[in-house]
Amino acid sequence: MTSSHAIRTAVLALAVCASGASTAATITNVELSAVRWTGFDWDSNGSALITGFQPVPGSAFDLELYAWAGVIKNGITYTTALLDQNPDGIPDHAGGYEYTLYAKLRESVIACVSGVCTFSIIGGSYEVWYDLAQNANRVTSTGFRDGIPLISGLFGTQTVGSLAFIGGSAFGVTALTGGVDFTNTAWIQPELTTTSFSTTLQSGEFHTNGWTPPLSFDGYTPVAGDLTFQADANQSFAVDEPGALALVGASMIGIGLFGRRPRRRVQALSSRI
């Protein structure tokens, strides 16, 4: 390999490393155009429904969560004028939009001791929607699964959190990771790979902001034994790690620089003959 070839290879490798280091997702909507983006801070007045829960180790139950974006994140937050943050089923802004979340988890009780139950996730899924109709309604939990599909994926088996029962109230925390199976690249670039999701569940005396339970959950009316919670969630997304590109770049640098040595040795041997 010639010296100039080696230099060109090293420069290309450094460019690959640099491009990897700057890899980040961007978001586009009616008021943002391809700006840096990391996820959503879902409003603290979201709602969750648990059905089939029994405080018995090994028993399984379902959790559904409905939420709307209060903040679009870029590592911190964006100030957005047209984001509908009032899910009353009525558009808040002419030409505005909303982001909504629906997630469903199948979970299993690990143990219940002194009113505190720990649980693991068997599996689950989530959907994020971008909707210009601004029709999400917190009271009926309708309008959360329509509009433009934006992101969706699955949660795999993992230990995720706990739920503490104190008198007639309860407080729970959940933290889990998942994959991204679909990215609508008309609005999010590039395709996403993973998500980190956390939420708190609150009922009874732990309610905040004047939250009240929805009358129904997208057509389902809670019955005796069901549990309803105020849900405050936060979700971040990631693209391919830049480390892989950096490794490729480093390999190319090594090839470029090492490739010059054999020729020097041949030239040295030739001069001795």
pLDDT one-digit tens code per residue, 15-65:
333 333 335 899 999 999 999 999 999 999 999 999 999 999 999 999 999
Query: What confidence score (pLDDT) does residue 3 get?
Result: 38
Indicate whether 36 and 108 sit together in one domain: yes
Structural contact between residues 188 and 37, judged by C-beta atoms closer than 8 angstroms:
yes
Indicate whether 100 and 202 sit together in one domain: yes
Indicate whether 217 and 247 sit together in one domain: no
Query: What confidence score (pLDDT) does residue 250 get?
Result: 41
Residue 252: pLDDT band with limits 50, 70, 90: very low
Indicate whether 69 and 106 sit together in one domain: yes
Domain range enclosing 3: 1-23+241-273
Q: What is the overall mean pLDDT for the chain?
A: 84
Rounded to whole angstroms, the Cα distance separating 58 from 38 reads 36
pLDDT surpassing 90 at residue 240 = no
pLDDT surpassing 80 at residue 194 = yes
pLDDT surpassing 50 at residue 263 = no
Structural contact between residues 203 and 172, judged by C-beta atoms closer than 8 angstroms:
no
Residue 103: pLDDT band with limits 50, 70, 90: very high
Structural contact between residues 68 and 136, judged by C-beta atoms closer than 8 angstroms:
yes
Q: Enter the pTM of the model.
A: 0.80
Indicate whether 123 and 9 sit together in one domain: no
Q: Choose between 206 and 160: higher pLDDT.
A: 206
Indicate whether 150 and 70 sit together in one domain: yes
- Cis peptide bond upstream of 262, omega within 30: no
Residue 79: pLDDT band with limits 50, 70, 90: confident
Q: Count structural domains, the chain.
A: 2
Alpha carbons within 13 A on the beta-carbon side of 25:
28
Indicate whether 19 and 97 sit together in one domain: no
Average pLDDT over residues 182-206: 97
Rounded to whole angstroms, the Cα distance separating 64 from 127 reads 12
Whose structure tokens read 């997208």? 218
Indicate whether 44 and 81 sit together in one domain: yes
Indicate whether 98 and 68 sit together in one domain: yes
Indicate whether 248 and 223 sit together in one domain: no
CB-neighbour burial class of residue 85 (10 A; exposed 0-12, middle 13-18, buried 19+): middle
pLDDT digits (tens, 9 = 90+) for 120-155: 999 999 999 999 999 999 999 999 999 999 999 999
pLDDT surpassing 70 at residue 97 = yes
Indicate whether 49 and 165 sit together in one domain: yes
Residue 78: pLDDT band with limits 50, 70, 90: confident
Indicate whether 191 and 252 sit together in one domain: no
Query: What confidence score (pLDDT) does residue 23 get?
Result: 58
